[in-house]
Amino acid sequence: MRKFDSEVMFELFETHSLPARTRELIVEGFRQPARWTTVTPFRAPADLPCPKMGFVIHAANPLERKAAIMYQFRNDVLGYLDSPFALHVKYEGKGKRPVQFNWPNGFLLITAGGFIWEDWAPFSSLVAQCKSKPGRFVRDGDVVRSPPLEEAARRLGLEYRLRSDLDLDPLACRNREFLRSYLVDAVSTPAWFRSELREYFRINAYGTLEELRQDLPHRTVDDFLAAIANGELTADLSRAFVLDADIFMVFRDAQSMDAYRQSGLWAEAHAASYRWEPDDFSSGTRVFISGNPFTIVSRGNLELILQPDQGGQLIRMRHAVVEAAVRKGTLIVEQQPASARDPLRLDSPLRFASTKDVDEANAKLALLEKWEVGTRTTEVMQYSDRSYRTWRRLREDAIAHGIDPTIALLSGRHDRGNRTPRLDAQVEKIVCRIIKTRFDDLKGRGKWSVFGDLKNELKDNGLEEISKQTFLRRVLKAASVRTVALREGRKAAYQAQPFYWWLERDTPVHGDFPMQWVHIDHTPLEIEVISEETGEGLGRPTLTLVVCAFSRRVIGFYLALLSPRYISCMAAVLDMIRRTGRVPDGIIYDGGAEFFSVDFEGILSFLRVERHPRKCSAPRDGALLERMFGFTQTMLIHQLDGNTKARRNIRQMTRETDPSGHAKYTLAELYDGLEEIFCDIYEKRRHGTLLMSPAAKFEAGLERSGQRLNRLKRFEDCIPHAFPSVRGHTRTIDAQRGVRANYGQYHNARLESPMFHGLVVPTKYHPLDPKVIYVFVDNEWIPTILGKDDGTWQASTFFNMAHLEERRMLESLTRDSQSDANMRVSRLIAQMESSANDDVDLDQVTPEPALPHHAGADNPPAAPVGEEGAGARDSRDSALVETMKGLLAGGYRGARY
């Protein structure tokens, strides 16, 4: 990977004579993107650590994310920015109406050949927009262009390219995703390993990864994967998955790979498993015969017509000759046929036949054999001689063409029946309109009510009425995810959508190696706990769980008594590092506000972890965690005293069954139970999907995909940069009493000097060891220890974490109690003052002089505003002015970094 160099960019400015305005826009684009993406029900943006650029790249959708990862691996891309600025687009829309807009979507690529703006969109979406916006998009086959955007980019000296998902190979994207962590952590290969690779390829121009590993057995899997990721080992990422080492090809250099592709040798590995299928040799398919390239011009029932790529006369080959050449390996298809690529494709006449149909065909063959030898029993004579002669002809034709005779005698029941429409065209039109306008809406009307409207309309128009069964079949046929959305809304339609079992045909949704993706989320446990100190009930705790998607292993958890917040998220992530000593490649979370806090995003940036929020209202994206939550509740929580299952039906609950009266477990005891469940029982129990234990799956995954030592992280190296800040972020140092935080005093002898007294410093606390907080003094993080030592902090880590949560809950209750007391004192003072004023008024009552009576006596004029009131109003106005001045004077920080 070639890292970005700003000096090279400025040289390219001069080389390509870029306009001064464009140069300013590009440089300004390094400050922050022109487009900030947010989580929506239809889009889940991702933030990728980009080692090539040195900052975070924002991808608005999965397609942009794949493109951003591809740019990291391309050496011809010297640098790239996401949405650096907006292109001002002008064009004539429908009816020659002028259209103008600013378009920030896309990536600006910095290459030696120029500055290119690449915009990505799904091909299906582009095809639809070609019809709806003909002035903006133009289609030529599989290529879609946008002339207005091309013109907008040309005015700035840029080149615009509109690209789609057809330009991305799914297998290559999977390989780049698998190798990306080696680039993120800048893993380099030793010089002697590169020397060994050069020696191997001095003799061999190409080979499989398995052959290379066998020739260099003393090297680890990580050495080879890092070499491939850094481009030091040339590999074809689009032909096989990198872990399929027996067919994954590596080459001496790019020229050797191109020559290997042109020769067609790469397909020989698939020839042994390929079964002859005439339908795979359609017109336009490219094949290699003894290494010479040909293109199929036409395919008939008996032969193929091929055109040599080098020119010359057409060649005819019968199917039998083609099949023999395929089996021998002298004829190779350039691309693997669809029948071999797609396991869901069943290309056989038997796919329409039931077991009964096959049995009937075999019975006909048996009767035909008896008829041919002259047997004329009652069983044989149930069919006429003409039928037997027809069967014999079908059997002989099938044998001559190499087809199973059973297939030739299938009944073909699936083709029977009259499939012509029964309803009149006008009736059909009215039925479709009624279903669309009166059934598919948010009123949610019943089927019988809509059927009544349909009958009335047909009767009014003098048309033939339809039966209820016909109408119900039409409603059922028209039902889809879209109709559910029209009747019940977006969230109901989400539940009706199909599952995504695979991202692509051969790309699993949970990654290819351990901790490639981890999920984090919270859930309230259905149990109440009590305080270790006071014995009072503390309510239901909240469990924060971190699960490895690949192995389903619980790699971190945290219990909190307060509502979900960023502290719980950070503590769970740090617990993951403490347990596994590793950091994940990416973390998936929902749209909770705690996941978008400054401290939580800071810890992920510090650990170089990709942030990947889920779409709004998309619980299926976190189904793996939801199942783990359900397992925890049913296996442990619901079996303990104090569980709150009774509150599910509040009407049946009594004082005797109230869970609050049965709570007897402390948070520390619950910690111990969950530790036993997650890290012993569940981890060693065979998983129903994996058919092996999560721990075994985790270790097997590391063994197969590499140990990835670059993702190892010591917990001590996270101190204190990955820790949360105290409330308000800062604390004041008292040279005598220390630093006050969390209702305690923290001390360090180094801070007892008078020179530090009164100093306001950034402060962070240890989420897993509450005895320690860290203050940043003189460019150094200094640990301070809790001064009060009453023995409660000397137990296990779980006890300390539980004790800290209890302290936080008690602190919250204390703040609420003090606030309530202050309000009561204020009300008491107001009552006393009011009572005292009433007594004074009664003692000092003086008669007021009578006022002359006039028309406005009942409404005396308002008193003039005094100086005090005017001053207050002027003060408020000046404060607003100063606030507005401060807002206008504020600038943008470098948000990308």
Q: What is the mean pLDDT of residues 580-593?
A: 92
Tell me whether the CATH fold assigned to 6-168 matches the one assigned to 425-496.
no
CB 41 within 8 A of CB 616: yes
pLDDT of residue 507: 56
Residues 13-33: tens digit of each pLDDT: 999 999 999 999 999 999 889
Sign of the four-CA dihedral 269, 273, 276, 277: negative
Sign of the four-CA dihedral 129, 133, 136, 141: positive
Q: What is the mean pLDDT of residues 580-602?
A: 92
Q: In which order are the strands placed within the sheet that holds 159-163?
A: 77-82, 107-111, 114-120, 159-163
Q: In which order are the strands placed within the sheet that holds 315-318?
A: 315-318, 303-308, 292-299, 286-289, 331-333
Q: Tell me how far apart the alpha carbons of residues 171 and 335 are, in angstroms, rounded to a whole number.
A: 14
Q: Tell me how far apart the alpha carbons of residues 192 and 226 are, in angstroms, rounded to a whole number.
A: 14
Q: Tell me how far apart the alpha carbons of residues 27 and 895 are, in angstroms, rounded to a whole number.
A: 14
Q: Is the pLDDT of residue 516 over 60?
A: yes
Q: Tell me how far apart the alpha carbons of residues 252 and 201 are, in angstroms, rounded to a whole number.
A: 5
| 120 backbone dihedrals φ, ψ, rounded to 5° | -120, 140
pLDDT band for 318, please (50, 70, 90 cuts): confident
CB 92 within 8 A of CB 99: yes
pLDDT of residue 405: 87
**CATH code of domain 6-168:** 3.40.1350
Q: Is the pLDDT of residue 855 over 50?
A: no
Strands 738-741 and 725-734: antiparallel
Q: Is the pLDDT of residue 268 over 70?
A: no
pLDDT of residue 621: 78
Q: Is the pLDDT of residue 513 over 80?
A: yes
Residue with the larger pLDDT of the pair 189 and 897: 189
pLDDT of residue 865: 43
Kindly state the tokens that stand for 37.
């993406």
Q: Is the pLDDT of residue 802 over 90?
A: no
Residue with the larger pLDDT of the pair 60 and 286: 60
- Cα separation of the two ends of the chain: 20
Residues 230-250: tens digit of each pLDDT: 999 999 998 889 999 988 999
Judged on CB neighbours under 10 Å (0-12, 13-18, 19+), 859 is exposed
Kindly state the tokens that stand for 166.
């057809």
Q: Is the pLDDT of residue 498 over 90?
A: no
| 276 backbone dihedrals φ, ψ, rounded to 5° | -60, 125
Residues 675-720: tens digit of each pLDDT: 999 999 999 999 988 899 999 999 999 999 999 999 999 988 888 8
pLDDT of residue 620: 76
Following CA atoms 482, 484, 488, 491 in sequence, which dihedral angle do they give, to the nearest 10 degrees? -70
**DSSP reduced 3-state for 138:** strand
pLDDT of residue 894: 47
For 96-132, give the secondary structure using H, E and C: HCEEEEEECCCEEEEECCEEEEEEECCHHHHHHHHHH
pLDDT band for 868, please (50, 70, 90 cuts): very low
**β-bridge partners, 522:** 544
Angle at 800 between CA 796 and CA 805, to 5 degrees: 150
* Range with lowest mean pLDDT among 114-118, 271-275, 544-548, 586-590: 271-275
Kindly state the tokens that stand for 259.
């020559």
Q: Tell me how far apart the alpha carbons of residues 298 and 283 are, in angstroms, rounded to a whole number.
A: 5
pLDDT band for 792, please (50, 70, 90 cuts): low
Residue with the larger pLDDT of the pair 380 and 801: 380
Q: Is the pLDDT of residue 893 over 70?
A: no
CB 295 within 8 A of CB 284: yes
Q: What is the mean pLDDT of residues 56-65?
A: 93
pLDDT of residue 163: 95
Which whole-number Å values give the CA distances from 162 to 9, 149, 532, in the listed order? 23, 9, 63
Kindly state the tokens that stand for 477.
């046929």
What is the DSSP secondary structure assignment for residue 518, as one 8-state letter? E
Question: Which helix (H) or strand (E) is 557 found in, with range?
Answer: strand 554-560
Q: Is the pLDDT of residue 558 over 50?
A: yes
Q: What is the mean pLDDT of residues 878-889?
A: 51
Burial 515-546 (b: 16+ CB within 10 A, else e): bbbbbbbbbebbbbbbbbeeeeebbbbbbbbb
Q: Is the pLDDT of residue 875 over 60?
A: no
Residues 358-385: tens digit of each pLDDT: 999 999 999 999 999 888 898 889 999 9
Q: What is the mean pLDDT of residues 97-107?
A: 94
Whole-prediction pTM: 0.76
Judged on CB neighbours under 10 Å (0-12, 13-18, 19+), 566 is buried
pLDDT band for 884, please (50, 70, 90 cuts): very low
The amino acid present at 681, given as its one-letter code, is I
Q: What is the mean pLDDT of residues 54-59?
A: 92
Q: Is the pLDDT of residue 858 over 80?
A: no
CB-based contacts of 109: which residues, under 8 Å, 6+ apart?
Answer: 71, 77, 79, 80, 115, 116, 117, 118
What is the DSSP secondary structure assignment for residue 723, as one 8-state letter? S
- Considering all CA atoms of the chain, what is the largest pairwise distance in Å, rounded to the nearest integer? 142
Q: Is the pLDDT of residue 849 over 80?
A: no
Residues in the chain: 897
Q: Tell me how far apart the alpha carbons of residues 511 and 508 are, in angstroms, rounded to a whole number.
A: 6
* Range with lowest mean pLDDT among 64-73, 189-198, 761-770, 877-886: 877-886
What is the DSSP secondary structure assignment for residue 337, as one 8-state letter? -
Following CA atoms 230, 233, 238, 242 in sequence, which dihedral angle do they give, to the nearest 10 degrees? -90
Q: What is the mean pLDDT of residues 736-742?
A: 87
Written as one string, the DSSP assignment of 772-808 is: EEEEEETTEEEEEEES---STTSS-HHHHHHHHHHHH
Q: Provide the percentage of residues in the chain whose pLDDT is more than 70.
A: 87
Strands (DSSP E) contained in 659-708 are none
Q: Tell me how far apart the alpha carbons of residues 636 and 282 are, in angstroms, rounded to a whole number.
A: 60
pLDDT of residue 239: 85
**Residue whose C-alpha is closest to residue 451's, from 431, 422, 426:** 431
Would you kindly state where each structural domain of the chain is located, as residue ranges?
A: 6-168, 176-341, 353-413, 425-496, 509-646+661-716, 719-789
pLDDT of residue 572: 94
**Residue whose C-alpha is closest to residue 153's, from 98, 99, 97, 86:** 86
Q: Is the pLDDT of residue 803 over 80?
A: no
Fold of 425-496: Arc Repressor Mutant, subunit A (1.10.10)
Q: Is the pLDDT of residue 511 over 60?
A: yes
* Range with lowest mean pLDDT among 94-103, 279-288, 315-324: 279-288
Q: Is the pLDDT of residue 316 over 70?
A: yes
Q: What is the mean pLDDT of residues 563-571?
A: 89
CB 101 within 8 A of CB 87: no
Strands 159-163 and 249-251: unpaired
Q: What is the mean pLDDT of residues 207-224?
A: 92
Judged on CB neighbours under 10 Å (0-12, 13-18, 19+), 695 is middle
Q: Tell me how far apart the alpha carbons of residues 139 and 127 are, in angstroms, rounded to a whole number.
A: 7
CB 237 within 8 A of CB 175: yes
CB-based contacts of 456: which residues, under 8 Å, 6+ apart?
Answer: none
Residues 114-172: tens digit of each pLDDT: 999 999 999 999 999 999 999 999 998 888 999 999 999 999 999 999 999 999 998 99
Kindly state the tokens that stand for 378.
């009652």
What's the chain's average pLDDT?
Answer: 84
pLDDT of residue 856: 45
**Residue whose C-alpha is closest to residue 544's, from 592, 504, 585:** 592
Q: Is the pLDDT of residue 658 over 70?
A: yes
**β-bridge partners, 95:** none
The CATH class, in words, for 509-646+661-716 is alpha beta
Residues 334-362: tens digit of each pLDDT: 655 444 455 556 667 788 888 899 999 99
**Residue whose C-alpha is closest to residue 263's, from 276, 249, 280:** 249
pLDDT band for 502, please (50, 70, 90 cuts): low
pLDDT of residue 862: 47
pLDDT band for 656, please (50, 70, 90 cuts): confident
pLDDT of residue 880: 46
